[in-house]
Homo-oligomer: A and B are copies of this chain.
Amino acid sequence: MNIYDIAELAGVSIATVSRVVNDSPKVSEKTKAKVRAVMEEQQYTPNVFARSLGLNSMQTVGVVCPDVSDVYMATCVAYLEKSIRSYGYNCILYCSGYEYADKENAIKQILEKRIDALVLVGSQYAGDGSESDTRYIREAAQKVPVFFIGGSIRCPGVYCVVADAYQAMYDVVSALTESGRKRILFLHDSNSYSAKQKLRGYEDALKDNGLPVLDELKIFAQNKIRKVYEILSEQKDLEFDAAVATDDGLAVGVLKYARSRNLSVPEDVNIIGYNNSELAICCEPELSSIDSRSDVLCKAAIDSMMRLLSGQPIRQKRVVSCRFVKRHTTNF
């Protein structure tokens, strides 16, 4: 069902439908009523038409992220905004928080604005990937094209650009085991799609290198630096000779704990962060980190979006390789 169908059903031209959408005084009230009745019958809102025709578009892209004060998300939003603007579009920003109800509400509210497309930053919005956890995304995708940065779900109208977190984590954990590390901590702060990819990469690398996967070495900490430090301090018997984290802040927490225990980094403990943020160069020694190349991800997403909005076909999923940035917390 598109504007052509509505025009046909109402027995008017496409131009007339578009004028009705824009409430033009050039169309009689009688014709308006007729066209609107058809639109209502077909459950189409004027905005959907306007968008499909590029009419009445506010040239606006909605960007939603859980928390723009998070260093990684802020970097993504900065890249997205620049790229969106380079196409002459505006960027409406919405910070949703992390709770399901808040995320659902955020998407609902931003869809009420006349946006042409929606970008979701971070894999938080993919939930655990289940139908029930992503219903609101699936519904949103029936209204506007939805672009995921760093998350992935399979659904018509949803387009994903993801970094290959699995491979990146697999590679560094393999390198750690090959250099003789045997007890490698895995620190994460969510159970999102991307955190799961990283966990799988970690586990597969251990198995492929003949090491056991131990639950005691998987640590969940949401408040990053402080929390990691506290958790490790509470478990003083926990031995480890390396740590990989899903975020630089978590890795800094390990670094601080290692210092408090007089462990040498990288001699006694290798530590690897994720996102290659400014935090990685603030700490001492500076943190080796996996760069998920958010600049490339964000630009690729917006380039695709604009191709789609201009009527061209695009791929539903693009995968970008990560890059390991070696600094001074690793010695392999």
Residue tally, chain A, CB below 8 Å to B:
37
Answer yes or no: A55 CB below 8 A from chain B CBs.
no
Residues of B within 8 A of A278 (CB): 71, 225, 249, 279
* Bound CA–CA A190/B273 (angstroms): 31
A residues 46-100 in Cβ contact with B at 8 Å: 60, 63, 67-69, 71, 74-75, 77-79, 81-82, 85, 90-95
Q: Which one, B24, B29, B281, B284, contacts A284 given CB within 8 A?
A: B284
Which residue of chain B has its CB nearest to the CB of A28?
A: B25
Query: Taking the nearest CB of chain B, how far is it from the CB of A67, in angstroms?
Result: 6
Residues of B within 8 A of A81 (CB): 68, 93-95
Which residue of chain B has its CB nearest to the CB of A78?
A: B69
Query: Taking the nearest CB of chain B, how far is it from the CB of A113, in angstroms?
Result: 6
| Given A92-B91, A93-B91, A256 and B279 contact (CB-CB distance below 8 Å) | no
* Bound CA–CA A68/B93 (angstroms): 12
Instruction: Check if B225 sits within 8 Å of A282, measured CB to CB.
Output: yes
Which residue of chain B has its CB nearest to the CB of A84?
A: B93
Which residue of chain B has its CB nearest to the CB of A69?
A: B78
Answer yes or no: A268 CB below 8 A from chain B CBs.
no
Instruction: Check if A74 sits within 8 Å of B85, measured CB to CB.
Output: no
Query: Taking the nearest CB of chain B, how far is it from the CB of A116, in angstroms?
Result: 14
Instruction: Check if A259 sits within 8 Å of B282, measured CB to CB.
Output: no
Answer yes or no: A283 CB below 8 A from chain B CBs.
yes
Answer yes or no: A252 CB below 8 A from chain B CBs.
yes
Instruction: Check if B93 sits within 8 Å of A93, measured CB to CB.
Output: yes
| Given A281-B225, A284-B283, A74 and B69 contact (CB-CB distance below 8 Å) | yes
Instruction: Check if A92 sits within 8 Å of B95, measured CB to CB.
Output: no
Answer yes or no: A23 CB below 8 A from chain B CBs.
yes
Query: Taking the nearest CB of chain B, how far is it from the CB of A239, in angstroms?
Result: 23
| Given A252-B282, A282-B283, A71 and B68 contact (CB-CB distance below 8 Å) | no
* Bound CA–CA A213/B92 (angstroms): 46
The 4 closest A-B CB pairs, nearest first, are A74-B74, A69-B78, A25-B25, A282-B282
Known: A69-B78, A85-B94. 7 other contacts (CB 8 A): A60-B92, A68-B77, A81-B93, A91-B92, A249-B278, A256-B284, A259-B284
The interface of chain A, by Cβ under 8 A from chain B, is: 23-25, 29, 60, 63, 67-69, 71, 74-75, 77-79, 81-82, 85, 90-95, 113, 225-226, 249, 252, 256, 259, 278-279, 281-284
20 A-B contact pairs sorted by A residue (CB < 8 Å): A23-B25, A63-B93, A68-B74, A68-B78, A69-B75, A69-B79, A81-B93, A82-B95, A85-B94, A90-B92, A91-B93, A91-B94, A92-B93, A93-B93, A225-B278, A225-B282, A226-B281, A282-B282, A283-B283, A284-B284
